[in-house]
Amino acid sequence: MLTFGSVCSGIGAPECAWQPLGWRPAFLSEIEAFPRAVLAHRFSGVPVHGDFTTIKAGQYDAIDLLVGGTPCQSFSVAGLRKGLADERGNLALEYLRLADRLRPRWLVWENVPGVLSSSGGRDFGAFLGGLGELGYGFAYRVLDAQYAGVPQRRRRVFVVGYLGDWRRAAAVLFEPHSMQGHPAPRREAGERVAVCPTLRAGGNRTGGDRPPGTDVDTAESLIVARCVTTGEGKRQDAETCTPVPVAFAHQQGGSIDLHISQDCALAVQRCQQQAVLTQGVRRLTPREAERLQGFPDDWTLVPYRRGMAADGPRYKAIGNSMAVPVVRWIGERIARVEAGRA
């Protein structure tokens, strides 16, 4: 069993992912109010620190692993790309300074693929060089959440470090069959309809619980809906009704092409309601957004500001999180290396 510390913890993707492994968090660290409320609710009894740059050696229990996804805005191709010159980007180096103070044997760091090209690659080179100066051997790899069992493309860079030995870090991220040189499947560019992954009752869209026929390759933005209303025009609860997959694809000229699954009529009969399909695209519910990231249902539905959390902060926090199944895979690989099985 490993003891780990988490920085830039968000809503607790590593903590959620590694619970089945029996790993124990010694501390969490997050500065934003709503994610802190989620952490306090889901991991009561675990210290939630604020600014992780102020964590001192010996302040919390000794840790075996330090995990964190420092802010990505300065590295993203959608931003100004100031890299390490940005205060947020510089937190990547603060992560290294914290690792130097705590000296865990494992490090796991996450960021957007834009970090690889930021400042012509010099920013990422500085980060890796810092790891080497601290005595960590390392490996890095771009992992895509769609291959871990969630219906979205979400490519992220993961760096794994091990104190004194790069081979252990490489054994986590690289499997023998992944070194055979087979490229990922190519896809033609174009507009396509995302196939709705119909849920089993009470199931989550994670890992081995993905229903047969789920097309994760075309479900990047997941423009799908179960838009069923009653005959009185009242919207039916999209989470509790019998799933009615309805996918909408935008066409040129702004019109919308409506595609209805063959299960629609039967599902409406089971609901014993007159169904009216609304021609429009609804936004994902917070619960569906949680499923896209592999969290349990209602993970972010916690007490917040004298009530239950509103949708707005839930959407933001979920979107900033790591994908739980990807982090779980990394944890499982670390556990195998620790046990000498990788």
Instruction: Please list the active-site residues.
Output: 72
Distance of CA 21 to the CA centre of its chain: 18
Using alpha carbons, select from 80, 141, 134 the residue that is nearest to residue 109: 141
Q: Enter the tokens of residue 302.
A: 């916690």
3-state secondary structure the chain: CCEEEEECCCCCHHHHHHHHHCCEEEEEECCCHHHHHHHHHHCCCCCEECCHHHCCCCCCCCCCEEEECCCCCCCCCCCCCCHHHCCCCCHHHHHHHHHHHHCCCEEEEEECHHHHCHHHHHHHHHHHHHHHHCCEEEEEEEEEHHHHCCCCCCEEEEEEEEECCHHHHHHHHCCHHHHCCCCCCCCCCCCCCCCCCCCCCCCCCCHHHCCCCCCHHHCCCCCEECCEECCCCCECCCCCCCCCCEEEEECHHHCEEEEECCCHHHHHHHHCCCCEECCCCCCCCHHHHHHHCCCCCCCCCCECCCCECCHHHHHHHHHCCCCHHHHHHHHHHHHHHHCCCC
Query: Cα separations (Å) of 45 from 1, 25, 42, 167, 186?
Result: 19, 10, 9, 36, 47
